């Protein structure tokens, strides 16, 4: 079942074409990798999918709904969540508050209910708290729940960002370089973590990564971008031996398993 | 309205427009390099008039010297404000800089109240400026001749500095890309100081010309021209010197013309300018000339 | 707050009772001058906390608070003043119908003041909230000025620059402190709720907040509406306290005073705002003496007008430059803290307030 379809989307900023003719038909449950040299347009693709940018040409369908014209928060409500290349946590909020913000979109109680602590709101608040704690347990951060997010070490901040995204109960999760800055052990943990949450939360995942160990290790399908164009698509073996891909990465040591 | 009255108003509008242009440039240059609205700029304008006033009152120096001294002192003041209130907060969140700018503005105003007194003072005005010349039925005060000429001279000097000198190049580089300019070895502090000095100097010239037009000075006199000049800078495109000049003229003309053509709405003229501001910010925030 | 929650109910009830008794005694027997200062404390608390909601917690830099106050002041005054007093005031241009014959009880006029102000808050907020930082500040300032100019000119509604005089004095400590307590309670609950987290997330990182499903428009407008609501009520209370309304009091100067309170108290702390608001109100009155001549050690020191605001300006600059966290930063009062202090740290208490 096709969960996301990016139908030949192109985006231009003034005279610069950042991404051209990007096509992706994503089936439910897939774990797809999006790779390419720096500046290839990978994050721009994410920004188009999540609604931060509107494609100049082309349409995007999420669960068969056209989402081009929708606002970012609306798209998140439909079930698409993301993490950011440069971590964007709510630094002055506590760890658990960060995650609970992700739950806010499901809140049914009105502002008045919340301010006057009416039973309906109290119930929802405790559910949110419970869910947030469960997610923190998934990423081993439950003991640090009242710490300020900004004070966490880098690796834990990355995990918190993922937990926050999961709080929105997405069906599709976009991870933007989650392994950046991690050592080999942390990277291994991250790989099994991604597979675990995919299974547990029934996610479809698109993963942008530079670390080829991660990509080749867990992605079944990989798209390669260069200068805004898709230059290759296939499974890890095909991609590793694709001459175009090797050319694009020439001069850059590619590590893969 | 007959032609004579129209021409009189036009002459006033042009004159006023020049003044706003001179002040607006200060706002736009500072925004260009620091992305900061220097709320205190209008108060430096105010202080310049008081500098001139006191030089005359205390030292009985000739009027011309007093103005020169006022301009120099204003430049120093501008540089000092930058050092005290803006430099320490360059890496702080924007809200801090905003608060600092507002705080500095109020500080100068209240300082003036305490030190100079709140009552308006009469600025010494040589006779030429208030003398009315009659050209073919049109009555034009002397100041309306001097203002555009002096303004244009200094605007040309400014344009030369910004576009033909190394420091001007540095200013433009910083306003295009702050971080890269830093990496290119541009002395940030010196260039930013220079920007403030330049802007304050122009504002001081505008202040003197303003006082020759409306020879009453008091601590809050910078508020009205300050906001008008600021709005002019926004309309013209904040960050663009050309924009500040054009915007200044437009606002000056508008201010006079609204009162001239619709005297019944004169009480609302302050509101008009803010309505225009809001429209520009909502629909074309880059202003006329966009970001330079 | 997470897990077991100790409510400190007794402590809270005790505090309320003490305040109750205090107001009762004060309203009866304190000097009128002191009562006025206490009233101003309450009003500034309402103003500070409501502005902090917009500027501090949601991170939207609004400079239009005086405008909301003005609306509240006029709306309520026009509603609770008797037709006779209105006729005396509007001697140049008569007040329009039906305002010239309406008179409703004070409390309803307060509610209307808040609602109209909130409505304007919506009108101001809705188009402007996609503007960033500086621009939002300018636009909100612009609105405030437009409102001021309008009120100065609409003779047949607001009596123009003459303002309103001889208003009945309804404001007393019950109203000001009662509403102040309600405001603090309301906004504190809002901040601590899921909506409050959403507001704070907008302050922290708007892009990330939106990506997590927080509707930016809805929440920014929410903070404006609530902030404007309470600012309007504060304006109404102020009007009845000083018994006159002059359109020029609601100028940028007024907004600036509240900005000082909020910044010095700590942009993210309700407690800080409350403390500084009260101190500010007291200092503003007490320091008036600095501005009038006084005799010190037999020397006659002439009054220096404007010294108050100069000192406050310097204070603001010092805070902004050196203590930009303000008094409390983002820390809040906690009942737990009070309990510990009173009980001498005897019991180990796990959870916070």
Distance between first and last Cα of chain B: 40
Q: How confident is the model at residue A214 (pLDDT cuts 50, 70, 90)?
A: very high
Please report residues of B whose CB lies closer than 8 A to that of C128.
278, 282
DSSP assignment of C10-70 equals HHHHHHHHHHHHHHHHHHHHS-HHHHHHHHHHHHHHHHHHHHHIIIIIS------HHHHHH
Q: Where are the alpha helices (DSSP H) in C166-205?
A: 173-192, 194-204
Q: How many separate domains does chain B show? A: 1
Average pLDDT score over residue span A22-28: 94
Question: From start to end of chain B, where are the E strands?
Answer: 121-122, 132-135, 138-141, 216-217
Distance of CA C31 to the CA centre of its chain: 24
The predicted structure's pLDDT at residue C298: 52
Decide: B155 and B21 in contact? Cβ < 8 Å.
Answer: yes
| Domain end point (choices A168, A203, A228) | A168
Q: Do A117 and C201 touch (CB under 8 A)?
A: no
* CATH code of residue B81: 1.10.3470
Q: What is the pLDDT of residues B142-162, one digit of tens each?
A: 888 888 898 889 888 988 888
Q: C112: distance to nearest CA of chain A, Å?
A: 18
**Percent composition of chain C: helix, strand, coil (DSSP 3-state, to 5):** 70, 0, 25
Which residue numbers of B have CB closer than 8 Å to C's CBs?
A: 35-37, 84-85, 88-89, 92, 94-96, 98-100, 102-104, 106-107, 110-111, 113-114, 118, 230, 234, 267-268, 270-271, 274-275, 277-278, 281-282, 285
Q: Are residues A254 and A179 in the same domain?
A: yes
B91 within a domain of the structure (yes/no) = yes
The predicted structure's pLDDT at residue C2: 45
C120 within a domain of the structure (yes/no) = yes
C25 within a domain of the structure (yes/no) = no
Q: What is the pLDDT of residues B169-228, one digit of tens each?
A: 888 888 887 778 777 777 888 888 999 999 999 999 999 999 988 889 999 999 889 989
C77 within a domain of the structure (yes/no) = yes
B219 within a domain of the structure (yes/no) = yes
Q: What is the pLDDT of residues B87-131, one digit of tens each?
A: 998 887 777 888 899 889 999 999 998 888 888 988 888 877 778
Alpha carbon distance B177, B180 (integer Å) = 6
Chains that touch B (3 or more CB pairs under 8 A): C
Answer with the residue of higher pLDDT: B111 or A256: B111
Q: How many separate domains does chain C show? A: 1
| Domain end point (choices A168, A190, A216) | A168
Which candidate from C190, C197, C216 shows the least CB-CB separation from A115? C190
Q: Are residues A174 and A161 in the same domain?
A: no
C116 within a domain of the structure (yes/no) = yes
Residue C295 has pLDDT above 80, yes or no: no
- C-alpha distances in angstroms, C16 versus B113, C13, C19? 43, 5, 5
Cα atoms found within 13 Å of the Cα of residue C131, Cβ hemisphere only: 25
Q: Are residues A176 and A65 in the same domain?
A: yes
Most confident of B4-18, B269-283, C187-201: C187-201
Chains that touch A (3 or more CB pairs under 8 A): C
Which positions ≥6 away from A168 have C-beta within 8 Å? A76, A77, A79, A81, A102, A103, A105, C212, C213
The residue of chain C nearest to residue B113, with distances taken between CA atoms, is C306
A46 within a domain of the structure (yes/no) = yes
Q: Are residues A24 and A102 in the same domain?
A: no
Residue C349 has pLDDT above 70, yes or no: no
The predicted structure's pLDDT at residue C31: 84
- Using alpha carbons only, how large is chain C's radius of gyration in Å? 21
Q: What is the pLDDT of residues C80-114, one digit of tens each?
A: 988 888 888 888 888 887 877 888 899 999 999 99
Q: Return the minimum-mean-pLDDT range out of A202-211, B71-80, B263-272, C179-188.
A: B263-272
**Percent over 70 (pLDDT), chain C:** 90
Residue A46 has pLDDT above 90, yes or no: yes
Residue C200 has pLDDT above 80, yes or no: yes
Structure tokens at B50: 């008081």
Sheet arrangement for strand A172-176: A80-82, A172-176, A204-208, A31-35, A221-226, A229-234
Average pLDDT score over residue span A99-108: 95
Q: Enter the pTM of the model.
A: 0.89
Residues of the domain holding A98: 89-168
B94 within a domain of the structure (yes/no) = yes
Residue A111 has pLDDT above 70, yes or no: yes
The predicted structure's pLDDT at residue C353: 41
Residues of the domain holding B128: 3-283
Question: What's the complex ipTM?
Answer: 0.91
DSSP assignment of A71-131 equals -HHHHHHHTEEE--SS----TTSBHHHHHHHHHGGG--S-HHHHHTT-HHHHHHHHHHHHH
Q: How many separate domains does chain A show? A: 2
Please report residues of C whose CB lies closer than 8 A to that of A167.
212
A30 SS3 class? coil
Q: Are residues A256 and A197 in the same domain?
A: yes
The residue of chain C nearest to residue A150, with distances taken between CA atoms, is C204
Q: Are residues A175 and A257 in the same domain?
A: yes
* CATH code of residue C198: 1.10.3470
Residues of the domain holding C80: 9-15+31-291+304-343
Q: What is the pLDDT of residues C36-54, one digit of tens each?
A: 999 999 999 999 999 999 9
Q: What is the pLDDT of residues C301-319, one digit of tens each?
A: 556 667 788 888 888 889 8
Q: What is the pLDDT of residues A173-206, one digit of tens each?
A: 999 999 988 889 989 999 999 999 999 999 999 9
Decide: A105 and C212 in contact? Cβ < 8 Å.
Answer: yes
Q: Where are the alpha helices (DSSP H) in B35-142?
A: 41-59, 63-81, 94-116, 127-130
Which candidate from C138, C149, C310 shows the least CB-CB separation from B110? C310
Residue B292 has pLDDT above 50, yes or no: no
B1 SS3 class? coil
Alpha carbon distance C77, C81 (integer Å) = 6
The predicted structure's pLDDT at residue C53: 96
Average pLDDT score over residue span B55-66: 85
Q: What is the mean pLDDT of chain C?
A: 85
Q: Do B104 and C307 touch (CB under 8 A)?
A: no
Alpha carbon distance A140, A158 (integer Å) = 12
Decide: A79 and A62 in contact? Cβ < 8 Å.
Answer: yes
Q: What is the pLDDT of residues A119-177, one digit of tens each?
A: 999 999 999 999 999 999 999 998 998 999 999 998 899 999 999 999 999 999 999 99
- Strands C294-296, B216-217: pairing kind: unpaired
A 10 A CB-CB count for C1 gives 13
Please report residues of C whose CB lies closer than 8 A to that of B107.
310, 313-314, 316-317
């Amino acid at each position: 079942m096709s969960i996301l379809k990016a139908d030949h989307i192109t985006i231009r900023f003034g005279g610069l074409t950042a991404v051209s003719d990007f096509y992706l038909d994503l089936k439910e449950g897939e774990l797809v990798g999006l790779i390419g040299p720096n500046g290839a347009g990978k994050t721009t693709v994410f920004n188009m999918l999540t609604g931060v940018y509107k494609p100049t040409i082309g349409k995007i369908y999420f669960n068969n709904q056209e989402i081009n014209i929708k606002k970012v928060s609306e798209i998140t409500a439909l079930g698409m969540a993301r993490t950011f290349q440069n971590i964007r946590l709510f630094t002055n909020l506590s760890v658990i508050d960060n995650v609970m913000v992700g739950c806010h979109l499901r809140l049914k109680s009105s502002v008045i209910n919340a301010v006057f602590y009416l039973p309906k709101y109290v119930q929802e608040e405790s559910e949110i708290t419970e869910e947030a704690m469960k997610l923190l347990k998934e990423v081993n951060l439950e003991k640090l729940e009242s710490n300020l997010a900004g004070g966490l070490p880098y690796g834990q901040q990355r995990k918190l960002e993922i937990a926050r995204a999961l709080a929105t109960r997405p069906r599709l999760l976009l991870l933007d370089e989650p392994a950046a800055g991690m050592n080999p052990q942390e990277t291994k943990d991250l790989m099994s973590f991604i597979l675990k949450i995919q299974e547990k939360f029934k996610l479809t995942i698109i993963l942008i990564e530079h670390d080829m160990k991660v990509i080749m290790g867990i992605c079944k399908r990989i798209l390669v971008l260069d200068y805004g164009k898709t230059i290759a698509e296939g499974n890890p073996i095909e991609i590793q031996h694709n001459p175009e891909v090797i050319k694009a990465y020439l001069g850059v040591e590619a590590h893969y398993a | 309205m007959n032609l004579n009255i129209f021409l009189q108003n036009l002459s006033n509008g042009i004159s006023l427009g020049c003044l706003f242009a001179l002040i607006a440039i200060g706002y736009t240059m500072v925004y260009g390099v620091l992305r900061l609205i220097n709320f205190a700029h209008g108060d430096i304008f105010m202080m310049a008039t008081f500098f001139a006033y006191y030089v005359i009152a205390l030292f009985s120096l000739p009027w011309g010297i007093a103005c020169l001294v006022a301009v120099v002192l204003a430049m120093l003041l501008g540089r000092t404000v930058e050092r005290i209130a803006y430099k320490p907060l360059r890496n702080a969140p924007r809200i801090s800089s905003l608060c600092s700018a507002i705080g500095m503005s109020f500080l100068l105003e209240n300082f003036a109240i305490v030190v100079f007194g709140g009552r308006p003072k009469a600025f010494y005005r040589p006779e030429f400026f208030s003398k009315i010349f009659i050209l073919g039925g049109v009555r034009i005060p002397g100041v309306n001749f001097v203002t555009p000429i002096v303004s244009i001279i200094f605007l040309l000097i400014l344009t030369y500095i910004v576009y033909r000198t190394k420091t001007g190049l540095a200013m433009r580089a910083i306003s295009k890309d702050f971080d890269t300019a830093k990496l290119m070895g541009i002395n940030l502090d010196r260039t930013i100081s220079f920007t403030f000095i330049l802007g304050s100097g122009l504002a001081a010239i505008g202040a003197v010309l303003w006082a020759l037009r409306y020879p009453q000075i008091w601590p809050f006199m910078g508020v009205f021209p300050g906001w008008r000049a600021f709005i002019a800078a926004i309309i013209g495109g904040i960050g663009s010197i050309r924009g500040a000049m054009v915007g200044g003229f437009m606002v000056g003309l508008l201010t006079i013309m609204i009162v001239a053509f619709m005297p019944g709405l004169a009480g609302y003229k302050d509101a008009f300018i803010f309505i225009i501001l809001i429209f520009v910010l909502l629909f074309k925030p880059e202003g006329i000339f966009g970001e330079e | 707050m997470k897990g077991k929650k100790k409510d400190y109910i007794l402590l809270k009830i005790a505090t309320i009772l003490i305040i109750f008794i205090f107001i009762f005694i004060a309203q009866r027997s304190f000097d009128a001058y002191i009562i006025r200062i206490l009233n101003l404390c309450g009003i500034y608390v309402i103003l500070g906390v409501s502005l902090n909601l917009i500027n501090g917690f949601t991170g939207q830099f609004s400079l239009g608070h005086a405008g909301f106050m003005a609306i509240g002041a006029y709306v309520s005054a026009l509603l609770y003043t008797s037709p006779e007093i209105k006729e005396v005031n509007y001697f140049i241009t008569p007040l329009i119908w039906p305002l010239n014959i309406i008179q409703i009880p004070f409390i309803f006029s307060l509610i209307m003041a808040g609602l109209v102000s909130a409505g304007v808050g919506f009108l101001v907020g809705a188009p402007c909230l996609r503007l960033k930082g500086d621009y939002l500040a300018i636009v909100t300032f612009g609105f405030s000025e437009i409102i001021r100019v309008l009120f100065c000119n609409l003779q047949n509604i607001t009596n123009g620059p003459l303002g309103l005089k001889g208003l009945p004095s309804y404001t007393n400590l019950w109203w000001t402190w009662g509403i102040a307590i309600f405001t603090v309670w309301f906004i504190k609950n809002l901040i601590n709720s899921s909506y409050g987290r959403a507001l704070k997330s907008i302050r922290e990182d708007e892009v990330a907040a939106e990506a997590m499903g927080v509707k930016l428009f809805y929440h920014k407008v929410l903070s404006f509406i609530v902030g404007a609501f309470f600012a309007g009520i504060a304006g109404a209370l102020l009007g009845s306290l000083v018994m006159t309304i002059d359109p020029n009091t609601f100028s940028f100067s007024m907004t600036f005073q509240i900005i000082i309170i909020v910044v010095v108290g700590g942009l993210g702390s309700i407690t800080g705002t409350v403390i500084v608001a009260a101190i500010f109100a007291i200092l503003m009155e007490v320091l008036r003496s600095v501005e009038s001549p006084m005799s010190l050690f037999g020397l006659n020191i002439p009054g220096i007008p404007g010294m108050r605001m100069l000192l406050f300006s310097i204070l603001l600059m010092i805070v902004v430059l050196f203590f930009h966290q303000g008094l409390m930063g983002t820390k809040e009062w906690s009942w737990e803290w009070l309990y510990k202090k009173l009980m001498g740290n005897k019991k180990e208490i796990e959870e916070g307030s």
